[in-house]
């Protein structure tokens, strides 16, 4: 046990605010600014003030301890990175506008690192030459950069953020699976120690590549991710990873019949005109995939999830067609496209458009549709992809029960990358048989600054922040609610608590009313508040549990004994 320093608020750089910031959209944004934890520097860029830096450091400490516990080694790689490795991997172009790019005085291209797969791969290639050097797991906690088009929600979505990224390197798929398991279990321990309510859900790898992929999500109304979970069997997945079984339909269908449908270019107008449900129609969305026109078929009552489509087709670039794309394409009739008879167009479809299903869809002629258009008879699907927007009540892929949807903040993501980057950079080691062996990789990220915001979202109440003890900026907030005698008692209590090894925040600010100090104490959100007030002459204090709100008057010595019992 070591004596802690008492942080006096009279010397602390932390100005609290009574009103919410005008641009604040989320609870964490409002409270972290109001309580003096962070201040906005520019759009998506934040300064961490002393209280905020303490919380950030506590999160980082827990992450470090658990990463060290699985045998990972900490390094620190540069944030300013050369263009060439990212050209080799293809991500110089794939990242597009998200990448911060710059030139040095000699005209050489650089970027500010969004993630470091390329650089870690090169480090291991330089340092590891034999299978005896592996497995190895490396990690860093570092500032990352992404040029978000609309940074928002405070530190939840910024252009500059703190992240722990780690990478595993193994000589076999079995070794990668073990490294993945170690990280997964470490992540569960990290988020449990942080006090974060979280879900581990299946995810898609997308542009990261690889096979297995899982996200760690913190349920919160401010979350930008939507995940599905099953109340019956416990299945959980990001909505981009929810699948639907391809089940061919059986039955007899009449011949394809073209029918006049004037002024019905939308699903809604078509369904109303024919007196049929939208689910009986086939919607065909035209997109461009790396510049090539592609049709995507889904039931008419469903929407195409463009993010999901992009993840499936990554690293290809997916964009909607424009009016100009119809020029010179008489087979593409805007508002009346059908899959039958399409020329030079790849046809993708959701599994709900299964072989044997019959649809009403466009006839590729103005003001005309076709009925009894049967998949497998009148048109073929080139590739099936789960691309519809998942809805509440959709069947669980595991047990068939109705799914629930909820919002969440992504706080971690783990991937089995495989050999994508090893192939790009020729990362081989000498194997047991004396021949080169291609290394396989895993990639594992935790949003450290985002975890701070997620904790604020989950634990705050109507009075302010309410930190779990493991990450709080102090253990006890001592308030001198008065002048001479209360201040002396508060100082004595603070010194005793610090000597016992507790981290203490002492509100000794002169000229402020007890009400203002107590309001600030609740806003700042330290687990325990000890108030030296009206009964200070009797050495009686008030002890408040910030989370439960319970208050109790008791002798100072008893309060100190209770607070230091587990120190």
pLDDT tens, 379-434? Answer: 999 999 999 999 999 999 999 999 999 999 999 999 999 999 999 999 999 999 99
43 CB contacts (<8 Å, ≥6 apart)? Answer: 151, 159
pLDDT value for 206: 55
Residue 274 CA, chain-centre distance (Å), reads 44
Model confidence band, residue 330 (pLDDT cutoffs 50, 70, 90): confident
Virtual torsion, Cα 555, 558, 562, 567, nearest 10 deg: 110
- State the average pLDDT over residues 431-456: 97
What pLDDT is recorded for position 381?
A: 97
pLDDT of 315 reads 81
Helix, strand, coil shares, percent, the chain, to 5: 30, 30, 40
pLDDT digits (tens, 9 = 90+) for 293-304: 999 999 999 999
Q: How far, in Å, CA of 200 to CA of 203, rounded?
A: 9
Confidence of residue 4 (pLDDT cuts 50, 70, 90): confident
Length of the chain: 567
Give yes or no for residue 110 having a pLDDT over 60: yes
119-135 residue pLDDT tens: 999 999 999 999 999 99
Instruction: Tell me the pairing of strands 282-289 and 440-447.
Output: unpaired
Reference 240, options 264, 217, 272; nearest CA is 217
Task: Copy the structure tokens of residue 206.
Answer: 């997308």
Nearest to 85 by CA among 99, 74, 71, 72: 99
Q: How confident is the model at residue 314 (pLDDT cuts 50, 70, 90)?
A: confident
SS (H, E, C) 224-245: CEEEEECCCCCCEEEHHHCCCC
Give dist(CA 257, CA 467) in Å, integer.
66
Report the 10 Å Cβ neighbour count for 506. Answer: 27
CA distances to 176, 313, 417, 429 from 179, rounded to whole Å, are: 5, 27, 12, 18
Pair 114, 94: CB distance under 8 Å: no
| Token duo for residue 23 | 């641009």
Mean pLDDT of 34-39: 97
pLDDT band for position 7 (cuts 50, 70, 90):
very high
- pLDDT recorded at residue 312: 86
Spatial separation of the C-alpha atoms in residues 99 and 111, rounded to whole Å:
7
State the pLDDT at residue 240.
84
Question: Across the chain, what does the average pLDDT equal?
Answer: 94
**pLDDT at position 118:** 97
In this prediction, residue 205 has a pLDDT band, given cuts at 50, 70 and 90, of low
Question: Is-contact 212 168, C-beta < 8 A?
Answer: no
Q: For position 329, what pLDDT does the model report?
A: 87
pTM, two decimals, is 0.89
**Could you give the percent of the chain with pLDDT greater than 90?**
88
Please list, in sequence order, all residues whose beta carbon lies within 8 angstroms of the beta carbon of residue 119, skipping any fewer than 6 positions away.
77, 78, 81, 85, 113
Q: What is the pLDDT of residue 1?
A: 56
Task: Give CA–CA dist 352/256, Å, rounded.
Answer: 20
Selected residue with higher pLDDT from 33 and 240? 33
Phi, psi of 147 (to 5 degrees): -85, 75
């Amino acid at each position: 046990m070591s004596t802690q320093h008492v942080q006096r608020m009279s010397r602390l750089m932390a100005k609290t605010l009574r009103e919410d910031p005008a641009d604040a959209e989320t609870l964490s944004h409002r409270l972290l600014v109001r309580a003096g934890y962070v201040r906005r520097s520019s759009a998506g860029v934040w300064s961490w003030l002393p209280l905020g830096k303490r919380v950030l450091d506590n999160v980082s400490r827990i992450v470090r301890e658990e990463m060290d516990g699985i045998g990972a080694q900490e390094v620190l790689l540069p944030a300013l990175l050369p263009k060439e490795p990212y050209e080799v991997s293809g991500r110089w172009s794939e990242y597009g506008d998200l990448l911060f790019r710059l030139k040095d005085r000699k005209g050489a291209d650089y970027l500010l690192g969004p993630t470091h797969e390329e650089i870690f791969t090169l480090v291991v290639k330089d340092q590891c030459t034999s299978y005896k050097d592996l497995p190895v797991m490396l990690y860093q906690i570092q500032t990352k950069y992404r040029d978000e088009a609309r940074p928002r929600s405070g530190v939840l979505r910024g252009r500059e953020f703190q992240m722990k990224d780690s990478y595993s390197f193994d000589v076999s798929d079995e070794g990668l699976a073990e490294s993945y398991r170690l990280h997964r279990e470490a992540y569960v321990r990290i988020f449990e120690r942080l006090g974060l309510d979280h879900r581990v859900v299946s995810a898609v790898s997308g542009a990261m590549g690889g096979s297995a992929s899982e996200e760690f999500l913190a349920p919160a109304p401010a979350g930008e991710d939507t995940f599905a979970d099953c109340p019956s069997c416990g299945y959980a997945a990001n909505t981009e990873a929810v699948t639907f079984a391809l089940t061919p339909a059986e039955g007899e269908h009449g011949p394809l019949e073209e029918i006049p449908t004037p002024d019905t270019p939308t699903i809604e107008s078509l369904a109303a005109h024919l007196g049929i449900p939208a689910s009986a129609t086939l919607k065909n969305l035209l997109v461009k995939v790396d510049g090539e026109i592609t049709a995507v078929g889904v039931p008419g009552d469903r929407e195409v999830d463009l993010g999901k489509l992009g993840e499936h087709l990554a690293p290809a670039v997916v964009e909607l067609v424009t009016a100009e794309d119809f020029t010179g394409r008489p087979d593409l009739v805007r508002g009346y496209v059908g899959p039958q008879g399409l020329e030079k167009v790849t046809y993708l479809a959701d599994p709900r458009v299964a072989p044997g299903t019959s649809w009403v869809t466009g006839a590729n002629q103005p003001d005309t549709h076709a009925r009894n258009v049967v998949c497998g008879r009148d048109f073929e699907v080139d590739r099936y992809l789960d691309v519809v927007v998942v809805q509440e009540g959709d069947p669980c892929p595991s047990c068939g029960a109705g799914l629930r949807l909820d919002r969440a903040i992504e706080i971690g993501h783990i991937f089995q990358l495989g050999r994508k980057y090893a192939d790009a950079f020729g990362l081989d080691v000498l194997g047991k048989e004396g021949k080169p062996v291609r290394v396989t990789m895993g990639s594992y990220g935790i949003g450290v600054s985002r975890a701070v915001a997620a904790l604020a979202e989950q634990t705050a109440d109507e009075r302010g922040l309410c930190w779990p003890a493991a990450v709080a900026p102090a253990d006890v907030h001592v308030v001198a609610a008065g002048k001479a005698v209360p201040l002396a008692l508060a100082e004595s209590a603070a010194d005793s608590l610090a000597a016992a090894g507790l981290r203490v925040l002492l509100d000794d600010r002169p000229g402020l009313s007890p009400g203002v100090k107590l309001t600030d104490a609740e806003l700042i959100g330290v687990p325990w508040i000890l108030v030296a007030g009206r009964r200070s002459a009797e050495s009686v204090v008030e002890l408040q549990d910030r989370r439960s709100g319970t208050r109790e008057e008791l002798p100072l010595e008893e309060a100190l004994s209770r607070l230091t019992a587990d120190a």
